[in-house]
Chains A and B, each alone.
Chain A
Amino acid sequence: MLSVVVLVMVVVAGCSSGSDDPEPEKTPPKEESTQVDKPAETVDPNKPVDGGTLVISTFTDIVSVNPLFIQDTASADAATFIFANLYDLDRQGNVTAEPWSLASEKPIISEDGKSYTIKLKSTAKWSDGQPVTADDVVFTINAIRDPKVASPGISQFDKVDKVEKVDDSTVLVTLKQVYAPFQYALASAVVPAHVLKDVKPEELLTNPFGTDPAKTVTNGPWKWTEWKQSQSMNFDADSNYWGQKPHIQKIVFKQYADQNTEVQALLKGDVDLTQAIPVTQVEAVKNKGDINVILAPGPVYEYLGFNFKEDNFKNKFVPFASQKTRQAIAYALNRQGMVDNILKGTGKLMNAPFLPGSWADPGDAVVNYGYEPEKAKQLLAEDGWLPGDDGILVKDGKRFAFELQYNAGNSRREQVAAVIQQNLKDVGIEVTPKAIDFSAWVEQNLTPGKYEAILLSWSLNNPDPDGESTFSSKYFPPNGQNQGWYKNEKLDQLWVDGYSTVDQNARKQVYAEVGKEISADLPYVFMYQYGLPEGIGPKVKFAEEDKPEPTLPYGYFYRIINWWVDSK
């Protein structure tokens, strides 16, 4: 089901660097002579070498690498190098204990599904030499739960009843109720209790731990050695790291102004890895020949979100209040065309809020909407919409017109909004696209739930399929994420059923049911899963089992501890 398109470049054994001297690859006699000239290059290229520098590009600076406060991608990326997680994810997104995880085995879940026992490795150490113990885990979870700390992760832990230290390497977490997604909350980093325990909860936010490399005690394979704000960060392999040492000696996180300059730097060879090649540049990068371009979409999906609150509309008339009308809109949109033309084929259509190929993906159980404008017109007519004088549909004397908001400067959404406008005009619906500055949009429209329709996406940084906080009527604005004021009692209950058992097969059935209902009722028109292609330069090497996994959160660095660079 999951069709991951990975274009791995062909590594020619015993050949000199392709970019400096591409000739030998084409003409074998010359290749031999090159080998004679450079006997040192006949070493097995599949054998990892230690040392070297890996330069990774980014276009935003970090905020803080303090695991208690991370909520932006750049900080989370940086943290993956310097903090070990309690648990990590396997390629399918299951919680697991890897050799570099702090836990020694998977969490042990009690019969009643409410208690989680965490067993720690006894070998793990902080960069200042102190052991990583149960105290650190207890301190971290309690800090996140404390409202005075203002950790953005607080909602992930709001089902926790108590956290207890059993012994130095065992922690017992008890939940108030069965809540299956909780295991993913444990696949995260911990902070050192011995460094932060005397800091007042409300002062943790401004504490230099997380922003000052010298004061940030870490426990991962690399340590943070330098930060030049808005320019670069350096991470050096920690010689005192407790586990199997990483091959790469130094990681440089280099900031560029935008994705286009990042790609230029990748082409020049200044950068070895970039996570975001704009789709319009993919061909140019591929043409360079020696750059590995990974096209699989990431854990993000885009949607056309409807608003169901009458106060947001003129005359309190919600034009898409009826299910049939929403289905008509879904049929009227040429989503495959958008994926082919705007995303240049780097997206995958979705009809429910589950990533294609994930364990909870309901597959064929959902309603699939093809591009069928005639069917759309027919549904609209059945629903009581009649053509008006200007060609726009009218019902009860009200025109079918609405405003579609998106964030200014996002060229993908700008193009998609234009296609939506055209597609819907073809069936008699007037859409007015409106671009708004992101920060203002969040404050004035998204958080209070004030808009008619939006084009936005959700990033699924937690592989759990639970979507209660986005779709349940328990989570209306301003304190919840159900910004479209969508209410469907059947779904409200299904989401609860979905997380109230830790039996994965039982959950699968619930989410198949969710998929069926949500794809028919359409709080959103689910558009596509997407993600900017990742580009990896010729210096970077990894074995097949350690290749990046873009569908996982932070998967572009998946198993980077086993990667190496060919430092000539």
Chain B
Amino acid sequence: MTEYLIRRLVQSAVVMFLITVLTFGLIHSAPGGPTKVFLSPGLSQQAAKVQAEHLGLDRPIPEQYLKWVGGLLRGDLGYTFKNHLPVGDILWPTVGHTMVLMGAAWLLSLLIAIPWGVYNSTKEYGWSDQTASFISYIGFAMPTFWFGILLQELFALKLDWLPLSDMWSLDKEGQIGDLLLHLVLPVSVLTLGFLAGYVKYARTSMLEVLQQDYIRTARAKGIHEVRVVYRHGLRNALIPIITIIGLDLPILVGGATLTENVFNWPGMGRLFVEMALAREYSVLMAITLVTAFMVILGNLIADLLYALVDPRVQLGRKGGSTA
């Protein structure tokens, strides 16, 4: 187990390194630059050139990369080009804000989706199953931002029951009750989106398992149906669901840019778009790092969870992983 973890960590470090090289090269080769996004009659090209020099933007890209990695190894994410602010100061609060929003929506959707999907697999094409299908169609087909605008229109503007946007009211920052009120609409939008997929995964995965021979054996032995479904069935059906969940983990920080935009949620998805337009390389690199880290972490957690739900999965032994 320990050996397995160490191997995974080394692999992850290599992957992270490759990701940074690739991303750094890609964003620097995109046309435009932090000193070139403004165009006004007063802006002198001379000034832009001198600014680029001061900021080290005229150096060769490999040199800029080494400087960036050097800083990173010392725990320094660098500074923004346009106004020399520490990247961490800008990034970390948004990561937290996004986790609050996405975490709430994600947990809520899992709590609803898994039991519901399992139930639907036992009553195939029943009214509950049909309802879930209908909701899934809506969840898949309706653009989240549009649904968000509809909810705002109704609950915030027409009925005036809920706040329109933001994380807190202007004078109530830090108050949990106020935060919860602000979470209702965006979480509803996101939950619908997540739910659509998860209900279907849970149902399909269960249906597959319930047709297996060992389920028939269990039933033949006279085990109570509830026990058959939840003990013998669900444990096996969870493995593909965990894979999906593991792969989805990065969205906890990656955020839902459109939802964050509509609800003016100060999260990382919004930050990424803003910084990409401004060509703020160091912030973009930091966001890439955080996202890559979450992908790797998600996969690792999924692997560990396999072992937890299915004792046959033995980590670290060749050929033992079902993933």
Q: Please, how many angstroms separate the alpha-carbon atoms of A528 and B51 in the complex?
A: 34
Shortest Cβ distance from residue A492 to the other chain B in the assembled complex, whole angstroms: 17
Say yes or no: is A11 at the interface (Cβ < 8 Å to chain B).
no
Complex interface: chain B residues within 8 A of A155 (CB): 42, 44
A150 in contact with B47 given A63-B82, A229-B89 (CB within 8 Å): yes
A156 to B47, CA, bound (A): 12
Q: How far is the CA of A481 from the CA of B44 in the complex (A)?
A: 9
CA distance A461 to B271 in the complex (A): 29
Is B47 a contact of A231 with CB atoms below 8 Å? no
Contact flag A442-B37 (CB < 8 Å), given A230-B94, A230-B274:
yes
Contacts A268-B156, A270-B164, A443-B33 given; indicate if A154 touches B46 (C-beta within 8 A): yes
Assembly CA distance A511 to B134 (angstroms): 67
- Chain A residue, CB-CB nearest to B37: A439
Q: How far is the CA of A518 from the CA of B264 in the complex (A)?
A: 45
Given the complex, which residues of A lie within 8 Å of B164, measured CB to CB?
Answer: 264-265, 268, 270
Q: How far is the CA of A229 from the CA of B40 in the complex (A)?
A: 24
Whether A438 touches B37, Cβ cut-off 8 Å, given contacts A150-B47, A261-B262, is: yes
Grouping DSSP codes into helix (H, G, I), strand (E, B) and loop, the B interface class, with mixed when no group exceeds half, is loop
- On whether the beta carbons of B50 and A148 are closer than 8 Å, the reply is yes
| In contact, B36 and A442 (Cβ under 8 angstroms) | yes
- B245-275 vs A: 1/0 string, CB under 8 Å? 0000000000000001110101000110010
Known: A206-B54, A258-B261, A443-B31. A211 touches B85 (CB 8 A): yes
Query: Is the beta-carbon distance between B42 and A147 smaller than 8 angstroms?
Result: no
Query: How far is B85's CA from A210's CA once the two chains are assembled, in angstroms?
Result: 11
Contact across chains for A257 and B270 when beta carbons are under 8 A apart: yes
In the complex, A265→B149 CA distance in Å?
Answer: 12
The complex places the Cα of A258 from the Cα of B257 at a distance, in Å, of: 12
Q: Is the CB of A261 within 8 A of B165?
A: yes
B43 within 8 A of A: yes
The residue in chain B whose Cβ has the minimal distance to the Cβ of A60 is B274
Which parts of B9-47 form the interface with A (CB within 8 Å)? Answer: 30-33, 36-47
- Given A230-B270, A257-B260: A440 in contact with B32 (beta carbons within 8 A): yes
Determine whether the beta carbon of B31 is less than 8 Å from that of A205.
no
CB pair A439 B277 closer than 8 Å? yes
> What sequence of 0s and 1s flags, for each residue 58-72 of chain B, a beta carbon within 8 Å of any chain A beta carbon?
000000000000000
> Which residues of A sit under 8 angstroms from B170, Cβ to Cβ?
53, 55, 252, 270
- Given contacts A55-B170, A257-B264, A439-B277, A205 and B54 within 8 Å (CB-CB): yes
A370 — which chain B residues lie within 8 A by C-beta?
none
Chain A CB within 8 A of B2 CB: no
Complex Cα gap A461–B277 (Å): 23
| Chain A 175-216 near chain B by CB (<8 Å), digits 1 or 0 | 000000000000000000000000000100110101100000
Interface size range on A against B: 35 or more
A61 within 8 A of B: yes
Contacts of A462 in B (CB 8 A): 41-42
Q: Does A421 contact B (CB under 8 A)?
A: no
Contact between chains at B264 and A152 (CB < 8 Å): no
- Asked whether A453 is an interface residue with its Cβ less than 8 Å from the other chain, the reply is no
B42 touches A264 (CB 8 A): no
Q: Kindly state whether residue B203 has any CB partner on chain A within 8 Å.
A: no
Known: A155-B44, A442-B39, A469-B41. A229 touches B85 (CB 8 A): yes
Query: In the complex, are the beta carbons of B157 and A156 less than 8 A apart?
Result: no
Give Cα A61–Cα B30 distance, bound, in whole angstroms: 23
Query: How near does chain B come to A276, taking the closest CB pair, in angstroms?
Result: 15
**A142 in the interface (beta carbon within 8 A):** no
Considering the complex, give the chain B residue whose CB is closest to the CB of A57.
B264
With a CB–CB cut-off of 8 A, which chain A residues contact B30? 440
Residues from chain A with Cβ under 8 Å of B156 in the complex = 264, 268
Complex Cα gap A210–B33 (Å): 22
Q: Does A94 contact B (CB under 8 A)?
A: no
Closest chain A CB from B35 CB (angstroms)? 9
Is residue B150 within 8 Å, beta carbon to beta carbon, of the partner chain? no
* Contact between chains at B262 and A447 (CB < 8 Å): no
How many whole Å from A208's CB to the nearest CB in chain B? Answer: 8
Separation in Å of the B158 CB from the closest CB of chain A? 11
Q: Which residue of A lies closest to B273 (CB)?
A: A257
Query: Beyond A150-B50, A461-B42, is A211–B83 a contact (Cβ under 8 Å)?
Result: yes
Is B90 on the interface with A (CB-CB < 8 A)? yes
Cβ of A479 < 8 Å from any Cβ of B? yes
Smallest beta-carbon distance A470→chain B, Å? 6
In the assembled complex, how far is the CB of residue B92 from the closest CB belonging to chain A, in whole angstroms? 11
By beta carbon, the residue of chain A nearest B40 is A71
Chain A nearest Cβ from B265, distance in angstroms: 9
* Nearest A-chain residue to B265, judged by Cβ: A257
| Chain B hits for A437, CB < 8 A | 31-32
Report the minimal beta-carbon distance from B60 to chain A, rounded to whole angstroms. 18
In the bound complex, do residue A152 and residue B43 qualify as a contact, i.e. CB atoms below 8 Å apart?
yes
Answer whether A256 and B274 are a contact pair too, CB < 8 Å, given A211-B84, A442-B37: no
B47 and A63 contacting across the interface, CB-CB below 8 Å: no
Task: State whether the Cβ of B200 lies closer than 8 Å to any Cβ in chain A.
Answer: no
Query: Are A71 and B36 within 8 A (Cβ)?
Result: no
Instruction: Report if A478 contacts B (CB, 8 A).
Output: yes
Asked if B264 and A265 sit within 8 Å, CB to CB, the answer is: yes
Give the residues in chain B near A156, CB-CB below 8 Å.
Answer: 42
Q: How far is the CA of A256 from the CA of B40 in the complex (A)?
A: 24
Residues of B within 8 A of A438 (CB): 32, 37, 277
In contact, B44 and A152 (Cβ under 8 angstroms):
yes
Q: Which residue of A lies closest to B93 (CB)?
A: A228
**CB-defined contacts of A252 to chain B, threshold 8 Å:** 170
Cβ of A61 and Cβ of B274 under 8 Å apart? Answer: yes
CB distance from A534 to the nearest CB of B (A): 20
Q: Which residue of B lies closest to A252 (CB)?
A: B170
CB distance from B310 to the nearest CB of A (A): 43
In the complex, chain B residues whose CB is within 8 Å of the CB of A208: 84
Minimum CB–CB distance for A467 against chain B, Å: 9
In the complex, the answer to whether B46 meets A479 with C-beta atoms within 8 Å is: yes
Assembly CA distance A155 to B83 (angstroms): 22
B residues less than 8 Å from A443 (CB atoms): 31-33, 36
Contact, CB under 8 Å: A439 / B264: no
A447 to B37, CA, bound (A): 11
Which residues of chain B come closer than 8 Å to A210, judged between CB atoms?
A: 83
Residues of chain B lying within 8 A (CB to CB) of residue A458: 41
Bound: A252/B90 CA distance, A: 19
For A102, the chain B residues whose CB sits under 8 A away are none
Chain A residues with CB under 8 Å of B41's CB are 458-462, 469-470, 481
- A439 and B157 in contact, given A211-B85, A230-B90 (Cβ under 8 angstroms): no
Could you tell me the distance in whole angstroms from the C-beta of A80 to the nearest C-beta in chain B? 17
| Inter-chain contacts of A560 with B (CB < 8 A) | none
Chain B nearest CB from A482 CB (Å) reads 11
Partner of B264, one of A55, A151, A256: A256
Most chain A CB neighbours (cut-off 10 Å) among B157, B163, B262, B264: B264
- Whether B152 sits at the interface, judged by CB under 8 Å, is yes
Q: Which residues of B contact A154 (CB under 8 A)?
A: 44, 46-47
> Considering only CB atoms, which chain A residue lies closest to B266 in the complex?
A231
Known contacts A154-B44, A252-B170, A270-B165; is A446 also within 8 Å of B39 by CB?
A: yes
**When the two chains form their complex, are residues A147 and B46 in contact, meaning their CB atoms are under 8 A apart?**
yes
Chain A residues positioned under 8 Å from B50 (CB to CB): 147-148, 150
Most B CB contacts (10 A, CB to CB) among A150, A230, A437 go to: A150
Known contacts A270-B165, A461-B42; is A439 also within 8 Å of B261 by CB?
no
Sampled A-B contacts (5; CB under 8 Å)? A153-B42, A258-B261, A264-B157, A270-B164, A459-B40
7 closest residue pairs by CB, A with B:
A439-B32, A257-B261, A440-B31, A150-B50, A206-B84, A268-B164, A150-B51
A211-B84, A439-B36, A461-B41 are known; give 6 further A-B pairs, CB within 8 A.
A206-B84, A437-B32, A439-B31, A439-B37, A447-B36, A479-B44
Chain A residues close to B by CB (< 8 Å): 53, 55, 61-64, 71-72, 147-148, 150-156, 202, 205-206, 208, 210-211, 228-231, 252, 256-258, 261, 264-265, 267-268, 270, 437-440, 442-444, 446-447, 458-462, 469-470, 478-479, 481
